[in-house]
Amino acid sequence: MSKKNRNPAPRAKGFGSNLESIPTILAKLEALVERQQLAAALELIQSLEERYPNHPDALEGLANTYYELGDTIRYEWACSRLVAVAPNSVNAAIGLAGAYLTNYRPALAMGAFRSFVETWPDHERAPDAREVVAELETKLGPYLAEMGLEGPEAISVAALHEKAISLLDWGQYQEARAVAEEVLARCPQMDGAHHNISLSYWLDGDTQQAIAICERFLAENPENYNALGNLIRFLFLSGNPEAAKQRAEQFKSLKVEKINLFVKQAESFSYLGDDEGVLAAFAAAETSGRLDLAPPLLFHLAAVAQMRLGRQAEAKALWEQALDLSDSFSLAEQNLNDLRQIISDRYGAFAFPLQQWVRQKTLDELRLSLAAFNPRESESPEDQTKIAQEYLSAHPEMLTLVPALLDRGSPSGRDFAFYLARHAQTPEMLAALRDFALSDRGPDAMRHEAAQVANRAGLLPAGTVRMWMQGKWRELILLGMEIHAEPTIQHSKPVKNLLGEAIENLREEEGAKAEKLLQQALKIEPDAPDLLYNLANAWDLQERHQEAKELIEQIHQRHPDYTFAAISVAQMHIKSGDLETARNLLQPILSKSRMHTVEFSLFCTAQIQFYLADRKPESASAWLNLLRQTNPNYPTIDYWEKRLSKI
């Protein structure tokens, strides 16, 4: 459909309301919209509409707000209600016609635009409406033929079929089912009506009935692509991915050349993450010569598949084609907006909104469970884990859906899956977080947090891990430890004072003064490992290197858990080329739950030295980045940066 036919929301200024509160609220609404505070605007107008459910001014404000939000489905719903209560409103009529066109309901759009021209032939918008009618007339013939409709009743049956789709989109499932049954009464061979009936049961929460209808219809009509596509979706979303994949192979073998089949194939394969299958369906549509009949959805699904395969230019072109067909096609616009973000913040290409993966009822159950707790109590990790685990028990299909949403869900879908997996902490959810962390999907920060959760659970080893960050595969360090600044060894007050003064002398490279103070402290606490270690540093400053080396080795033998000595001994082995011994000394330190900032900085330095000696500069850089993050003022950072820049 032509891009220029997008129709603005109805803007009629009131319908003679005598209720003083309504104009006041609408003025507030207009101010919120002008400031682009759209969430607040929607909350305000929904509150007004609940108080005055069929008041034209309230419905007009509701339609305008949905229009500003880009929610074309709810905009259509609001416009249809507005037309019902204000049939003489020009703006309501043209708004509804435009919504039908935007949401790819050509038969309904044809009827609405024709009605507009007949009712207001001299209106300034009438020439545009006539243009749309003329364009639709050229496309309706092939569209009706695709559905197997012909004769004088074809357009009215198609419009009724589209009405059922609208009702499904609006969440009116029983009404949609009734309309679909009316379509079947008039046209028994219309398989799209069977599709709408099965979908109405699915969306209404009756999974078994939805699947049974598809299987029963397929038994009689094995090449019915609507039933097969629905069955694939229902099987996968209900937690039976293997059965869904088997049916998908059957779907690939169908040889019916209809644009709706290609769209249904692309949709089904998108749920399964079969990107090559999606592109094969798109290519088949091109080869058939029917691509000009395709809705924007087919171009969008192909764009998502291209993007997931790393072909950004091809994906962008396809999303732009989808918007050429309908400039209000929000899925394409949302994906392009994501593409405009800096690469580390991108969520990645997605085919469907969350509500097409998880029924609204199912989403609401989790929200209600959280709301049942006092807000303060709900912040408790134990409470959230309990809620998440109970939710998983009630919805075992989430074992399939959470990994899928982490891989290919919308931003809200991935957020939902991440929340559930992070708080449930079950083996399956932790495995999903690990796999997500090691993938190239989703924002860097979310994947990094997933990696930390998986690391703490023992599913990812501490140390160097290859992860996708800032648009490249990089070596990153995973540590499940807390970095702190608290004293690691407790001393008496006199020793604490002597040690503090000695450390100041060491910083000023006054080794002899530091030694004198440390010897005094050792008379009070003769076996304190930190006093002995700092004494070795004082000797080193006085070029008594062999004595310092021997003392550090003695400290490590007597206090094997004293980290400073273990790191220093490892550094000695790195210097001598004995990397295996150095590795064995450093590796256990990674499993510590806490380390002092200075301790950890020395550990990072030793790791940099180790990986440089091992000729792995990427890993050395990863440890340098970690050192910079945890102790940005550490004195050797500049040295290591220069050293690494020369490699």
Contact 383, 350 (CB under 8 A): no
Name the phi and psi angles at 484, rounded to 5. Answer: -130, 170
pLDDT of 347 over the 60 cut? yes
Contact 306, 319 (CB under 8 A): no
State how far the Cα of 29 lies from the Cα of 154, in Å rounded to an integer.
Answer: 42
What would the mean pLDDT of 166-191 be, rounded to a whole number? 94
Between the CA of residue 108 and those of 81, 115, 162, 378, what are the distances in Å? 15, 11, 7, 47
pLDDT of 57 over the 90 cut? yes
Residue type for 429, please?
M
Q: What is the pLDDT of residues 361-387, one digit of tens each?
A: 899 888 877 665 444 444 577 888 999
Average pLDDT, the chain: 92
What would the mean pLDDT of 299-315 be, rounded to a whole number? 98
Q: What is the pLDDT of residues 506-537, one digit of tens each?
A: 999 999 999 999 999 999 999 999 999 999 99
Q: What is the pLDDT of residue 372?
A: 54
Label residue 12 by pLDDT band (50, 70, 90). Answer: very low
CA 155: distance to chain centroid?
A: 40
Label residue 542 by pLDDT band (50, 70, 90). Answer: very high
Q: What is the pLDDT of residue 213?
A: 94
- For strands 594-596 and 463-469, give the pairing: unpaired
Mention every residue, 6+ apart, whose C-beta is less than 8 A from residue 93.
Answer: 83, 87, 112, 115, 116, 119, 120
pLDDT of 356 over the 60 cut? yes
Q: What is the pLDDT of residues 35-46, one digit of tens each?
A: 999 999 999 999
Q: What is the pLDDT of residue 375?
A: 42
Label residue 13 by pLDDT band (50, 70, 90). Answer: very low
Mention every residue, 6+ apart, whose C-beta is less than 8 A from residue 193.
Answer: 161, 164, 180, 181, 183, 184, 187
Contact 621, 476 (CB under 8 A): no
Label residue 59 by pLDDT band (50, 70, 90). Answer: very high
Q: What is the pLDDT of residues 571-604, one digit of tens each?
A: 999 999 999 999 999 999 988 888 999 999 999 9
Mention every residue, 6+ apart, whose C-beta is less than 8 A from residue 351.
Answer: 267, 270, 271, 300, 301, 304, 331, 408
Q: How many CA atoms lie within 13 A of 480 on its CB side?
A: 16
Q: What is the pLDDT of residues 396-405, one digit of tens each?
A: 999 999 999 9
State how far the Cα of 9 lies from the Cα of 61, in Å rounded to an integer.
Answer: 9
Contact 413, 357 (CB under 8 A): yes
Label residue 474 by pLDDT band (50, 70, 90). Answer: confident
Token pair listed for 431? 């495995």
- Rounded to two decimals, the pTM is 0.73
Q: What is the pLDDT of residue 373?
A: 46
Among 19-28, 126-135, 537-546, whose mean pLDDT is lowest? 19-28
What would the mean pLDDT of 268-284 be, rounded to a whole number? 98
What would the mean pLDDT of 286-313 be, rounded to a whole number? 96
CA 513: distance to chain centroid?
A: 59
